[in-house]
Structure 1
Amino acid sequence: MGTLSRSGKYCPIYKAWNKTKFDIPEAGEKWILQSFRRKVKNWRARVKEHYHDPSLSVKQQISSRPKQVQKKQWKKLVKYWNKENTKSLSEKNKANRAKKKMIQRTGKKSYARKREELKISLGHDPSRLDLFSACFSKDGNTKNDDTANAIDEMKRLSDNLPEGSIDKPGPDDIFSTVMGKDRNGDAGMYGLGVRASDVWGVIPSRSACHRENNELKSRCGELTSENEQLRVELSEMKGSTDSSIVPPLTSQHSPVVTNEPPRLRGDKEGTMV
């Protein structure tokens, strides 16, 4: 894939690949496009570093074209690199890279491969603390104090977990506590194309929870109103049914109910006891 990304015939070095259509299965399309974008970007950076000298004239810059890059594409690149806004953006990116202090120590090995290796050696899925420690240190050594301090702080928090607790990957795990929240919806330490929702599911935002709560309150009010209307209709139906019922006539065989007290056994009619 890296060789293909450096081919001007198949992958023009000046194009924005996120605007190009591909006939690729949906499951792999996102990762492939992101991987190509990164490789083309890295290749373009290497070409600029080794073959582009801004101190030369434009004509001289064009004549220093590397063999792997086509003439037409190289001219467009030189023209792009000499724009003032491009130069300003380049300086800004250099300053940001200079601030980066934590350096990965796995070489070309991806996070996905390292995670699978840890899964075998540990006997269970590694936490993001396990991944960070394995990817940013080698034989217990780190490139700088910032990385060492981050690993030490993560291990301290891990040692203080309640007995039986597991540091599962998530927005509030130990890695996030020390390194900060994941950005742009990505899952840190999971590599290219892996979203946080792919690892620990969708975590609703505060605004989403507030909106859902308001919707539930509104629906509850509607149901209360409907329930009251049904109660009124049921009451009216019951009253209408009661008024339409005619009491049955008393037949000659029906007992006559009087208010006289019952007679005692053995008493004669009209005799007072």
Structure 2
Amino acid sequence: MTGLRDAWRRFKKKIKEKFYDKNSTLEDMLQKRPDNMAEVQFRQLIEYWKHPTVQAMCEMNSQNRKKQKWRHRMGPINFARVCVSLRAAKDNNEEPSKSEMFIATRTKTGKEIQADTQVAIAELRNRQNSGETTDDAFRAVFGKEQPGRLRCYGRSVTTSSLKKDEETNKLKQKHANEITSLKEEMNEMREEMQNLFSQLLQNNPELNVQDIPRCVGSNLASPVDASSTQVVRCQNLPHSSGSAHDSVLHKENAVD
């Protein structure tokens, strides 16, 4: 729903920039309305934009936007995608810090960095080089976090959700490390077995390859022996109640 809302706002912004003129009449703007919008809908938008309350709100938002510092350069790209790419670039799949997210979202190849953003990035790097942690450096430059979502991580990200994601990523990384360790152990065991077989063949040139398992572990039952043992066990199992009843009847008939 948040994505739909933002897409609708961007669409209205493009329509207003291209087809709305506060100095033109309603009829002139209706004649130049966009082809992909019905006349009724465009008329409603024009009446909405011409309302005094809406015009005052738009002017206030415009002034506030001009006062904003360190504006990001990602456009419609979701911050979550930036976070995923930064996390994938790390060996331990660790969550990127606020400083890393700030630098990644405020710099873009081929575009000049704003002056206030350059100052903030330089101060962040200087503080980290002097020994401060990334969180302390970010807090010193931009101030304490306000209640609600975290800065530099996009919408719907809170302190608790970020902590939960970090714990999940740690568990995934631990699981991946365990799998890698097991694979390495299996490879080592395979190499040891191959070396053992090679030594047996070198020490006993007349030894047949088929005799190697018997030499290595003569006490291990072969598949044929194992199946035979299973058959014997099945034969020695007690009969079911129905079978026992039949055998008793057979004995009684024999006595009679």
Question: Can you give the 5+ residue segments of structure 2 that lack an aligned partner in the other structure?
Answer: 165-256
Letter in 2 for 1:83: H
Q: What TM-score, normalized by structure 1, do the two folds share?
A: 0.53
Letter in 2 for 1:122: K
Q: Deviations over 1:117-158 (max 9, x none)?
A: 222223232111111112212469852221011111212222
User: Is residue 2:107 matched to residue 1:137?
Assistant: yes
In terms of mean alpha carbon deviation, does 177-186 or 65-74 score higher? 177-186
User: Is residue 2:89 matched to residue 1:121?
Assistant: yes
Q: How many residues end up aligned between the 2 structures?
A: 162
For 2:62, which of 94, 97, 106 is the aligned residue? 94
Letter in 2 for 1:74: F
Cα distance in 1, alignment partners of residues 123 and 30 from structure 2: 51
User: Is residue 2:8 matched to residue 1:36?
Assistant: no
Q: Deviations over 1:204-238 (max 9, x none)?
A: xxxxxxxxxxxxxxxxxxxxxxxxxxxxxxxxxxx
* Counterparts of residues 214-233 of structure 1 (less than 5 Å): none
Check whether the contact 1:80–1:86 (CA below 8 A) recurs between aligned residues. Answer: yes
SS at match of 1:78: helix
**Higher alpha-carbon Rg:** 1
Cα distance in 1, alignment partners of residues 110 and 122 from structure 2: 11
SS at match of 2:89: helix
1:184, distance to aligned residue in structure 2 (A): 5.4
Q: Deviations over 1:3-33 (max 9, x none)?
A: xxxxxxxxxxxxxxxxxxxxxxxxxxxxxx1
SS at match of 2:144: coil
* Counterparts of residues 241-256 of structure 1 (less than 5 Å): none
User: Is residue 2:124 matched to residue 1:187?
Assistant: no
Check whether the contact 1:101–1:146 (CA below 8 A) recurs between aligned residues. Answer: yes
* Counterparts of residues 186-205 of structure 1 (less than 5 Å): 186-200=149-163
Check whether the contact 1:187–1:195 (CA below 8 A) recurs between aligned residues. Answer: yes
1:110, distance to aligned residue in structure 2 (A): 2.4
Structure-1 residue corresponding to 2:49: 81
Q: What TM-score, normalized by structure 2, do the two folds share?
A: 0.56
1:61, distance to aligned residue in structure 2 (A): 2.4
Question: Can you give the 5+ residue segments of structure 1 that lack an aligned partner in the other structure?
Answer: 1-32, 202-273
Check whether the contact 1:157–1:174 (CA below 8 A) recurs between aligned residues. Answer: yes
Seen in structure 2, the aligned counterparts of structure 1 residues 140 and 61 have a Cα distance that, compared at 3 Å, is closer
Structure-2 residue corresponding to 1:215: none
Question: What percentage of residue pairs aligned between the two structures are identical?
Answer: 26
Structure-2 residue corresponding to 1:13: none
